[in-house]
Amino acid sequence: MEVFVLCLLGLVQGVCEFLPVSSSGHLVLLSSIFGIEDSLFVSIILHVATLLAVLVVFRKDVLNMIRHPFSLESMNIYIATIPTCLIVLILMPLVNLSFSGSFLAISFLISAFLLMFSEKFCKNKVFKNNNLRYKNALIMGIAQGLAVFPGISRSGTTISAGLLSGASKEECAKFSFLMSVPIIILSLLMEIYEIGCGGTYISVNTIGLILAFIIAFVVGILSIKLMIKLTQKLDFKIFSVYLIALAILTFFII
């Protein structure tokens, strides 16, 4: 049974990571329903799978940033990552507590509100410049730090922040995927350090976790490609309605 549930979590992670509905929130909710322990560890491992999906799809952009570490794209990543790390470190005690699901329903509602607000604010707005500037990257980095809680969509929050700061939806979506790379790597390293130094015992089915990882990776690639094609046509209202319904359901479950 646990193998099936972990595979389900992998599928959900692959689909939801790149949609503005909070993949970590879905993982915590499903972990609570099925009684999966160590949901934070499982969440990080599955986020690594979707990280690899980002690296595969955007390999040209990533290689270009590695070759040109001081290009505009690279500098934007640095500028976005610094505030994210500072905010996460400050909020870490609350973040660890939030993975119990205590604030999940409220977090889903916050995501729904952000999506509705950004959609209404940016409706019919004409963007004169499609290139992200340092200001846009900084604002999106701050948003990413605040979206560390499960239920608050990282992609939805960062894209909304980018739109509100004057960037185009297409550029915001692409940068939202890329800016997740260093944060997921740092989260994994932190988790490994805590497990190694604290002697933490992880009670998760290894085979199930491996299968979930593969599923999240493959589905993640397909989801990114789909999201890129739909970026210009997407209306956030449908996701807002879904999150409100999910928040109500979560309130009665957790």
Question: What are the 10-residue block averages of pLDDT along the chain, 254 residues in total?
Answer: 84 88 87 72 84 93 93 95 95 84 91 88 64 92 94 92 87 90 86 68 78 94 83 76 95 84
Alpha-carbon distances of 53 from 38, 50, 89, rounded to whole Å:
23, 5, 26
Question: What does the pLDDT read at residue 125?
Answer: 64
Question: What pLDDT was estimated at residue 122?
Answer: 74
Structural contact between residues 118 and 165, judged by C-beta atoms closer than 8 angstroms: no
Note the helical H segments in the chain: 2-16, 23-34, 39-57, 59-67, 72-98, 104-122, 134-146, 154-164, 169-178, 180-198, 206-230, 237-253
